[in-house]
């Protein structure tokens, strides 16, 4: 890898800033001064210093993003903002070019997206054979009947070859719109094309946390429809042991701690 790219990826500055540092003659590779930005460095075996400071190379990076609605879980998109655009907004443009979202959320789904360049961990989290739990908070239209809940939890026909795997439905509440958070109220009202000031008198909604062990296409929305309702708001709150940090506003992200990464690795097999 080029030395300037390497130092920029290790957060020593923008590509232009690290070029200046390199040209100033303070960078050494294995004890030899490296004054050209294009000098090649082997990130795994070379010993790099900037002045007295050893540059330590981390092979993998891990960020959790609280994805807002309207943003796509892709690395590139010609129309919509991507999760990578948001990562850059949070931590700067000098991110490694191998980071990707480990699993997708629909454009209108909010919540936890893990951004990493660790393909092995991503595979462990997403592999259908490992059944790593994904937990969602959802608000559905009307009341989901006891029979609907039973089907959701025991396995429901969503038009695939097999029923869904058993899921857990927790904290089930039937509520009015006023009992939901203000942001969620606005999202729900916008789907009825109503003025935000209009009330939803007499209307009820079902909120719950649904814990799945698989990740089929539009799975939560299709499960809710098969149970006779419609998802109006959806947010992923957990993947395996990793909970969405409540301190993150939509669009914000933070790096995972070493402990969070270790726990994810352990529980994902």
- Residue of 18, 56, 12 lying closest to 35 (CA atoms): 18
Binding of ligand URA by 220 (CB under 6 A):
yes
Q: Least distance to ligand URA from the beta carbon of 126, Å?
A: 12
- Nearer Cβ to ligand URA, position 179 or 183? 183
Residues 6+ apart with CB under 8 A from 197: none
* Cβ pair 233, 206 in contact under 8 A: no
Alpha carbon distance 56, 35 (integer Å): 19
The answer to whether residues 212 and 218 touch, using CB atoms and an 8 Å cutoff, is no
Of the residues 106, 118, 141, 183, which is catalytic? 106
What residues between 230 and 259 interact with ligand URA by CB under 6 A? 234
How far from chain centre, in Å, is Cα 148? 29
Site for ligand URA in 31-50 (CB under 6 A): none
Nearer to ligand URA by Cβ, of 2 and 213: the residue is 213
According to DSSP, residue 40 is labeled: B
114 to 56, 129, 221, 258, 267: CA distances (angstroms): 23, 20, 21, 14, 16
- The residue among 234 and 239 lying less far from ligand URA, judged by its C-beta, is 234
CB 165 within 8 A of CB 206: no
Which residue of 94, 116, 219, 268 would you call a contact of ligand URA, by CB under 6 A?
A: 219
Q: Are the C-beta atoms of 122 and 98 separated by less than 8 Å?
A: no
SS3 154: helix
Q: Using CB under 6 A, which residues numbered 107 to 136 contact ligand URA?
A: 109
Binder to ligand URA among 46, 106, 209, 214 (CB under 6 A)? 106
**HSE of 107 in the Cβ direction (CA atoms, 13 Å)?**
8
Residue 97 bears catalytic tag: no
**Measured from the CB of residue 190, what is the shortest distance to ligand URA in angstroms?**
18
CB of 224 to ligand URA, least distance (A): 8
Provide the minimum distance between the beta carbon of 212 and ligand URA in the complex, in angstroms, as a whole number. 8
Residues labelled catalytic:
106
Q: Which residues bind ligand URA (CB under 6 A)?
A: 105-106, 109, 218-221, 234
């Amino acid at each position: 890898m080029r030395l300037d790219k390497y130092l920029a990826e290790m957060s020593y500055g923008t590509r232009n800033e690290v070029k200046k540092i390199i040209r100033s003659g303070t960078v050494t590779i294995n004890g030899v001064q490296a004054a050209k930005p294009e000098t090649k460095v082997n990130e795994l075996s070379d010993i790099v210093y900037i002045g007295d400071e050893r540059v330590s190379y981390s092979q993998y990076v891990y960020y959790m993003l609280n994805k807002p609605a309207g943003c796509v879980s892709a690395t590139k998109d010609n129309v919509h903002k991507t999760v990578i655009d948001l990562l850059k907004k949070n931590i700067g443009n000098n991110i490694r070019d191998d980071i990707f979202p480990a699993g997708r959320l629909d454009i209108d789904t909010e919540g936890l997206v893990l951004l990493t360049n660790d393909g092995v961990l991503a595979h462990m989290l997403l592999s259908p054979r490992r059944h790593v739990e994904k937990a969602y908070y959802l608000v559905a239209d009307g009341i989901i009947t006891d029979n609907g809940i039973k089907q959701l939890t025991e396995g429901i026909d969503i038009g695939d070859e097999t029923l869904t795997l058993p899921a857990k439905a927790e904290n089930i509440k039937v509520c009015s719109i006023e009992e939901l958070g203000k942001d969620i109220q606005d999202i729900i009202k916008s789907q009825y094309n109503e003025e935000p000031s209009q009330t939803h008198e007499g209307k009820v909604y079902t909120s719950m946390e649904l814990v799945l062990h698989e990740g089929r296409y539009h799975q939560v929305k299709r499960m809710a429809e098969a149970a006779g309702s419609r998802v109006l708001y959806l947010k992923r709150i957990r993947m395996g042991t990793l909970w969405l940090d409540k301190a993150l506003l939509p669009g914000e992200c933070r790096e995972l701690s070493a402990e969070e990464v270790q726990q994810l690795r352990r529980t994902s097999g």
